[in-house]
Amino acid sequence: MKNLFALFAALSLVLSISAGANPPAAAHAASAGHSAHGAAGVDPDKAWQWLKNGNTRFVKGNLRRDGQNNQARQANVAGQHPHAILVSCSDSRVPPELVFDQKIGELFVVRSAGQSLDDSGIASIEYAVEHLGPRLIVVMGHESCGAVKAALDTMESKKAGSPSLDHLVANLHPHFSTLAKGPRSNGLVIEGKANVKGVAKDLVTRSAIVRDALEHGKIKIVTGLYRLGSGQVEWDESSAH
């Protein structure tokens, strides 16, 4: 009976990998590869597919069971080899590791309200690109984002509440130049999508390291918007570059 259970487990593992799901955490760590300054890493399209598969599992409630035990912790003690960089909102309803069903050592996450980029955030992304090997950068927003609303509410020189908040929304204002005076979409979905595109553009403009890696085909940048109710990430395939 034990041998039969083992056979079923092995068959399930093979089928999940052949279907494009993430490999087991230990296998992922080995496949990610690593070398400083332009590491080979996981192919960005493969990493993107892993995230898509993970989000499907999250929506369906069929989550992975590997990658969160002592074995996974020990496998990552010597170093990290994430397959993707996630730039996302600090909103407590949008935890990237859960949304994409990813485990220890698989994502390098940079979070701020509205995905607003400051020097520390950009430096964190640059460090990962230069030294950790991920070849995919995802900029993910979400519907009904408070930072997006605050930016829209302060477009006409209004104060956000503090110098720090003023600085944050000022980073987002250019993303809404064509939307500020029109009616707002339900859940600020259109505005949220415009924001993630703007953040991705800002990152390339402001970071020579990211821009160089992108121009030389070392990385790929994609954007998406998370739906709070369904848990689904809507990808903007046209934004991939």
Residue 69 has pLDDT above 50, yes or no: yes
Lowest mean pLDDT among 70-74, 82-86, 157-161, 229-233: 157-161
Hey, where are the domains in the chain? Answer: 2-239
Q: Is the pTM of this model over 0.75?
A: yes
Q: What's residue 27's pLDDT?
A: 53
Question: Model confidence over 32-47: pLDDT tens digits?
Answer: 544 333 446 899 999 9
Mean pLDDT along residues 60-81: 93
Q: What is the pLDDT of residue 31?
A: 53
The mean per-residue pLDDT over the stretch 115-144 comes to 97
Residues β-bridged to residue 138: 86, 222
User: Could you tell me how far CA 200 lies from the centroid of its own chain?
Assistant: 11
Closest to 122 measured CA to CA, from 137, 133, 104, 107:
137
Fold of 2-239: Beta-carbonic Anhydrase; Chain A (3.40.1050)
**Of 53, 50, 41, 48, whose CA–CA distance to 82 is shortest?**
41
Tens digit of pLDDT for each residue in 176-186? 999 978 899 99
Strand-by-strand arrangement of the 84-88 sheet: 107-111, 84-88, 136-142, 220-226, 233-236
